[in-house]
Amino acid sequence: MQNRDKSKQATFDQEELKRLALKPLAMSVLGRTGADIERLIREARQKARRQRRRLTYHDIKDALSIGQSSMSDEQLWRIAVHESGHALAMIGFDLGTIQTVSVGTASGGFVESNFKQHTDQNEEWINNMLAFTLAGRAAEVLILGNAGMGSGGTDNSDLAQATQLALDAETILGFGKKHPLLYRRIQDQSAMLTNDHQLAERVHKRLETGEAIANDLLNQNKDILLKLTKRLAILKAIDGDEVNELIGKKINTGIP
């Protein structure tokens, strides 16, 4: 019986070692497409074949890390600050659960999360969602003293998503400060905001409110934000369990 227990323990230890060894590889592919991963592995295999040796774990790890090394320390730190701001806001406002937080990827960095599906989506929820979306930029201003342009520039950017949510609140979700019962589906968002200056002012006011809420949370938890940022900058990717361990119950939401 004792030998059998030792055998089971040995098997468990081997499986745990394999899991720990594969985890960095799994984290390193975040943000890449299946085609990207296939190409990188194929190139690593060809390189090993030319050197007349077998493909190794380190070959794969190095291949999947391509693109990370080209990022300067300053860029990596800014992205780590940005994504840590999002992660802290996700937990602080209890909007959902975090799967992974990563930086240095092909897309720069991102927080992979599952938003809560069954929650009271009232105006407070909208404000918290705006705060979460703008928390990356707010974290940059708090820690670095300025914001980079990574928060905007595309239709999928933080600023674009926050603006869309604020505009929806004013025009189609029934939370408008003016004519809240009026439903207005907007086909051309930029034209509407350019031509309707009052609407643009109300939308921007919502964005400022969301930013202020994010600032309050981040300022109250600056030490935790820095701790997570430093960890993320070193590891490049952190799973949700570690994020919760780092900041979960320590976060100050300002709620008594």
Instruction: Render pLDDT for 187-202 as a digit per residue (tens, 0 to 9).
Output: 777 788 888 899 999 9
Strand, helix or coil for residue 33:
coil
Burial 31-47 (b: 16+ CB within 10 A, else e): bbeeeebeebbeebeee
What mean pLDDT is predicted for residues 110-135?
A: 93
- Stretch among 73-82, 126-135, 244-253 having the lowest mean pLDDT: 244-253
For residue 210, pLDDT over 70 is answered with yes
CATH architecture of residue range(s) 73-247: Up-down Bundle (1.20)
Q: Match 């940059």 to its residue by tokens.
A: 140
Amino acid in the structure at residue 58: H
User: What does 129-155 look like in DSSP terms, one character per residue?
Assistant: HHHHHHHHHHHHHHHHSS--GGGSSST
* pLDDT value of position 42: 81
Amino acid in the structure at residue 146: N
Which among 140, 91, 130 is positioned nearest to 111, based on CA atoms?
A: 91
Which among 171, 142, 147, 176 is positioned nearest to 159, based on CA atoms?
A: 147
Bridge partner list, 237 = 102
What mean pLDDT is predicted for residues 220-237?
A: 92
- Stretch among 9-23, 33-47, 56-70, 124-138 having the lowest mean pLDDT: 9-23
Question: What number of CA atoms fall less than 13 Å from residue 197's CA on the CB side?
Answer: 0
For residue 21, pLDDT over 60 is answered with no
The proportion of the chain whose per-residue pLDDT surpasses 90, expressed as a percent, equals 45
Which among 87, 76, 42, 110 is positioned nearest to 218, based on CA atoms?
A: 87
* pLDDT value of position 189: 74
What mean pLDDT is predicted for residues 60-82?
A: 79
What mean pLDDT is predicted for residues 173-195?
A: 83
Report the alpha-carbon distance of residue 134 to residue 212 in Å, rounded: 9
Report the alpha-carbon distance of residue 129 to residue 225 in Å, rounded: 19
Domain ranges across the chain: 2-64, 73-247
- Give whole-number Cα distances, 148 to 90, 123, 139, 255, in Å: 21, 29, 11, 31
Higher per-residue confidence, 250 vs 208: 208
* pLDDT value of position 236: 84
How many residues are present in the chain? Answer: 256
pLDDT, averaged across the chain: 83
What is the token pair recorded at 38? Answer: 């296939």
Torsion of CA 21, 25, 27, 32, to 10 degrees: -170
